[in-house]
Amino acid sequence: MLDENLINTIANIGFPIVVCTYLLTKLDKRLEVLTDTITKLNTIIENKKE
């Protein structure tokens, strides 16, 4: 009985937490790359205007 409850708790709570953490860290890295790219593009556009 206790083993079943522990397995259900891990499946219902632990697994989604792990998946969300993984996805958020991957998304954070991509957002950093996108931010850097947009900043570089903005600099290039500003230099072209001058």
Triad 41, 48, 32: Cα angle to 5°: 10
Q: Which of 16, 14, 35, 36 is nearest to 24 (CA)?
A: 16
Enter the pTM of the model: 0.58
Q: Cα–Cα distance between 27 and 31 in angstroms, integer?
A: 6
Q: What is the pLDDT of residue 25?
A: 93
In whole angstroms, give the CA distance from residue 47 to residue 18: 44
Domain map (residue ranges) of the chain: 1-49
- Tens-digit pLDDT profile for residues 5-43: 888 988 899 899 999 999 999 999 999 999 999 999 999
Write out the two tokens for 48.
């072209």
